[in-house]
A and B are shown apart, each in its own frame.
Chain A
């Protein structure tokens, strides 16, 4: 076969795959895995997105040889998207990291694990307060819990944050401000019951494809589901929608206020629901997450300026479409589910828009019945489980506890058997601040001297990397440790690289977007000396313990991570040769489980998850000893914590009266807007083929070939005006940097005139050098979705430079 035929063959494969996704919602269901051919099957959740599909993993000869959709999994019922089908291949890229590497001059040279552990321990001893851990929503639950205990219980600081800060922090603050507790009340079952699905700046056809196909399947079975896309760019999702509304970036707040205005003025809000269950809130001075209480009349007054015509002027969405949306919310005979993800969260007003969308559902009573729910989706497989639930954030503690509350700190000291006062009351630095401090000279206040990064790739994924990452690499006293599975933009600049085991090379548990906790067992060995991330943390903790570091001892002088075997003797789990003598995950999880009750996020014993394809919390034991999951939170018919006889009870209400808060938040202009110098909006995001920074999926030939490189999507009118054609290289430039990219016009996504879209998966084309590090004041989540940019044809740049 010559190269031409080969390219055509792969092109046809890509087209056929996409056609089948369109025709069937995704690829065809895999057959039940056949046994008897020497393949050993076991279950695991897919490694990639927050949907949480389960796969059947077939292992032969110590290698993953086949992947099938798991028929028994309620999330995906045997179906997978194109990434899921190839998840097994993520283990077998040719350049896995297999040995610790230490930077010496320009080179990274192999060293032993022993040396690596010593180096890290020395960095901690230098100044424990300046040692930070930067983790991930791709950490397993036991890994995140280990990191939390290591930093918060061991080092006695809170210099721990996770990349989920960049993806769902505004969803968290939205839930907290509205209900007093984090995570959605609804679940994926809503997708099977809703009459209307509104996607707010959300592209599930590409980002949560298996969920989207659940809805498309209903349609192909003849059920009527009205799909509404509210976004700034036409996406693969838009093509399926009955209504596709384009708004000007940042103006979603005006749209939500406009809908609320119409509900109030037309009297179509749900008076009974509000009287029984809600209160009203507006921003306070100074701004806090609690805001200030307002009356319904004040709320109405605040909404007055948001007439359909005014909102049309601000947002570009027509008054007619706003009336259509308000009309739907005003109906009691339809069930409405809202979905959102990064479009709403990666926003300098992320908390506010999350609050407003919850508010629309509460105001109109579209809440608490199957199909009637506002539900945020997560990008990463365990953003909920490992970050939100475990509390791997600078202000948080496990189980929904917070550093700010003395009672919560004391509870953790008790669970961890620590001396009083060990859990510090000083909140750590959130992601942007942590990296800013790491990139600032120590004498100028840069008090983070060492960062240990696990399961994430910040040199590619942080915003404004030229400011937050690059300067640290020129400062002699800053030290970057990176645990990963493949070389990445971050390992390449690291001082110490640690090779990690991934996915089914280790035991694991994760929590998906619908409160579902899932478990799997190790099935194959990691390559070379690659080792579990939790082991790495425990091994360093033990090295510190050996060196007499008080923090790694509990109040009885025992090692913080002591695990006893059946014989009651401690197992030396810090020695990797003995790490799997016991199930460390089970020990860590059972300890973590004790923390999950205060916010009614109860988890079942580990062994229940071994049997199940995940269980949605709160999981409560029944009189017959069985464990029952909860699908619809705060709803009397399903949630065991709602008082008998009540339809709805917001039992974590911020006002302690079982009421949820309906917020008013005004539209405000964004921190940076296009102007004459930088006339375009630049938006960044993902593509279906690649998982985030592409570290894993670019090693999968099928996915790499299907989407080989980043590009800039441009509207054809802009392209014509600039005289650029498809495939031509252009320079995209913002106030923070510039990048050369090929243009894609009329592709799978289509930005509106005056805007650009660039995916961030391509490590050769680091678009995040151009993005803004401005962030939401409450969630501290940066705005990757809009900044001002300009585009120039490359030839012209060359001429100018010449």
Chain B
């Protein structure tokens, strides 16, 4: 169950931001942290495999209201077990 730390840079438009926030909050694999300056959102993802984590990050990149996804850290330790 790999765990990844991501930072989502959200769109300048408040409507698009709200849309992205609600979409992200709805996904049970994602834990949302407190947004900074309303634009930068720390999130932690927990997925069954690294490839699922990768496609989750890719889908976040495509999400309206998300302008950028930074991967801060990927914890490989659980996958290796």
Contacts and interface: CB of A to CB of B under 8 A. Distances in A.
On whether the two chains bind one another, the answer is: yes
Interface of A: 4, 7-8, 11-12, 14-20, 22-24, 236, 239, 706-709, 725-728, 742, 744-748
A727 B79 contact: yes
Q: Is the interface of A mostly helix, strand, loop or mixed?
A: helix
Contacts of B71: 744, 746-748
B74 A747 contact: yes
Given A726-B53, A746-B71, A15 B77 contact: no
Contact of A15 (B7, B46, B61): B7
Interface in B41-81: 41-44, 46, 50-51, 53-54, 57-58, 61, 68, 70-79
Contacts of A708: 75-77
A239 B72 CA distance: 14
A125 B58 CA distance: 64
Interface of B: 1-7, 9, 31, 33-37, 39-44, 46, 50-51, 53-54, 57-58, 61, 68, 70-79
A658 B51 CA distance: 61
Contacts of B7: 15, 18-19, 22
Contacts of A747: 71, 74
Contacts of B77: 7, 708
List the 4 shortest-distance A-B pairs measured between CB atoms, nearest first. Answer: A15-B42, A727-B50, A15-B5, A23-B36
Contacts of A728: 50
B71 to A, nearest CB: 5
Most buried by B among A19, A236, A727: A19
Contact of A22 (B40, B51, B57, B78): B40
B43 to A, nearest CB: 6
Given A8-B3, A11-B44, A19 B74 contact: no
Given A8-B3, A11-B44, A19-B7, A726 B74 contact: yes
A12 B74 CA distance: 11
Contacts of A7: 3, 75, 77-78
Given A8-B46, A12-B44, A239-B70, 19 more contacts: A11-B5, A12-B33, A15-B7, A15-B44, A16-B42, A19-B35, A19-B42, A22-B36, A23-B36, A239-B68, A709-B76, A725-B51, A725-B54, A726-B74, A727-B2, A727-B76, A746-B58, A746-B61, A748-B70
A22 B70 contact: yes
Nearest to A688: B72
B34 to A, nearest CB: 7
Given A19-B33, A725-B51, A744 B5 contact: no
B70 to A, nearest CB: 6
Nearest to A23: B36
Contact of A16 (B34, B54, B74): B34
A19 B73 contact: no
B1 to A, nearest CB: 7
Contacts of B34: 16
A707 B1 contact: no
Contact of A8 (B39, B44, B79): B44
A18 B6 CA distance: 9
A15 B76 contact: no
Nearest to B8: A19
B62 to A, nearest CB: 12
A399 B50 CA distance: 54
Nearest to A743: B50
Nearest to B5: A15
B57 A15 contact: no
Contacts of A14: 5, 72-73
A12 B72 contact: no
A784 B60 CA distance: 34
Contacts of A745: 54
B70 A18 contact: yes
Contact of B74 (A4, A17, A236, A727): A727
Given A16-B33, A19-B41, A11 B73 contact: yes
Nearest to B38: A23
A15 B6 contact: yes
B31 A12 contact: yes
Contacts of A11: 3-5, 44, 73, 75
A8 B6 CA distance: 12
30 contacts: A7-B77, A12-B5, A12-B33, A12-B44, A14-B73, A15-B7, A15-B72, A16-B33, A16-B36, A17-B72, A18-B42, A19-B7, A20-B40, A22-B7, A22-B9, A22-B40, A23-B37, A23-B40, A24-B37, A239-B68, A239-B70, A706-B73, A709-B76, A725-B50, A727-B74, A744-B74, A746-B57, A746-B61, A747-B71, A748-B71
A726 B3 contact: no
Contacts of A23: 36-37, 39-40
A746 B54 contact: yes
Contacts of A8: 3, 31, 44, 46
A2 to B, nearest CB: 12
Contacts of B46: 8
A23 B5 CA distance: 16
A561 B43 CA distance: 57
A769 to B, nearest CB: 22
Contacts of A24: 36-37
Contacts of A725: 50-51, 54
A15 B4 CA distance: 9
A77 B71 CA distance: 28
B38 to A, nearest CB: 9
B76 to A, nearest CB: 5
A745 B76 CA distance: 13
A707 B72 CA distance: 9
A728 B42 CA distance: 25
Contacts of B74: 726-727, 744, 747
Contacts of A727: 2, 50-51, 74, 76, 79
A19 B33 CA distance: 10
A4 B81 CA distance: 13
Nearest to B34: A16
A15 to B, nearest CB: 3
Contacts of B72: 14-15, 17-18, 706, 748
